[in-house]
Chains A and B, each alone.
Chain A
Amino acid sequence: DSGVTQTPKHLITATGQRVTLRCSPRSGDLSVYWYQQSLDQGLQFLIQYYNGEERAKGNILERFSAQQFPDLHSELNLSSLELGDSALYFCASSVVGTGSGNTIYFGEGSWLTVV
């Protein structure tokens, strides 16, 4: 158990819909990262937050948005869903930002299936 909690574990929704994925980082971790992993694909970096502020942005679509709240939990919002958005979405956390090379701890992921 990494200490990173993601909900829901599985989600099936229709095209055009909107979903919210939730992440609670490890206790004491200030940074939260979101990654997308499609079937048999690598880990695509989406976005990183540090202590409530956006710190780095990767290949995140405009239909997707995220935020980190004062209690440090984070949400990833996916809207106007398309079939190609079906993937495993990982949240990860670390004590500080990546500049110092801290270990990042992954949650078990949220499986999103768009039908």
Chain B
Amino acid sequence: GQQVMQIPQYQHVQEGEDFTTYCNSSTTLSNIQWYKQRPGGHPVFLIQLVKSGEVKKQKRLTFQFGEAKKNSSLHITATQTTDVGTYFCAVVTSGTYKYIFGTGTRLKVLA
């Protein structure tokens, strides 16, 4: 069945350092979405990627979809304490309706 792994599982960075999380799927994806869950909160949609090789930016966040549509990355430049939380990718494989979330990467930013 569909497996979605994210690495790393945890990441501690000093404020101002960069951060990257990777999402890897065992199958080709229709699209991929990224969500952020603050501690004690609920997941909140960040962005959706659809096209092979697509790159999208939101201020300090850069999202990339792999050429083979099997992996994606989220890069944060110059992290801030407000970036703390768990970042999830969410995928739907072609021909299904299941919205599967990755294992998540928990980010801690040390001031």
Contact = CB atoms under 8 A, between A and B. Distances in A.
B30 A99 contact: yes
Interface residues of B, number: 22
Contact of B43 (A43, A45, A101): A43
A42 B96 CA distance: 21
Contact of A42 (B30, B33, B41, B103): B103
A43 B45 contact: no
A103 B99 contact: no
A55 interface: yes
Interface string B95-111: 01111111110000000
Contacts of B41: 108
Nearest to A103: B45
Chain A interface mostly helix, strand, loop or mixed?
Answer: mixed
Given A101-B31, A106-B43, A42 B102 contact: yes
Nearest to A55: B97
A35 B44 contact: no
Interface of B: 30-31, 33, 41-45, 48, 50, 88, 90, 92, 96-104
14 contacts: A2-B42, A2-B44, A42-B104, A43-B43, A43-B101, A43-B104, A55-B97, A56-B97, A99-B96, A101-B50, A103-B33, A104-B45, A108-B42, A109-B42
Interface of A: 2, 33, 35, 42-43, 45, 48, 50, 55-56, 58, 90, 92, 97-99, 101, 103-109
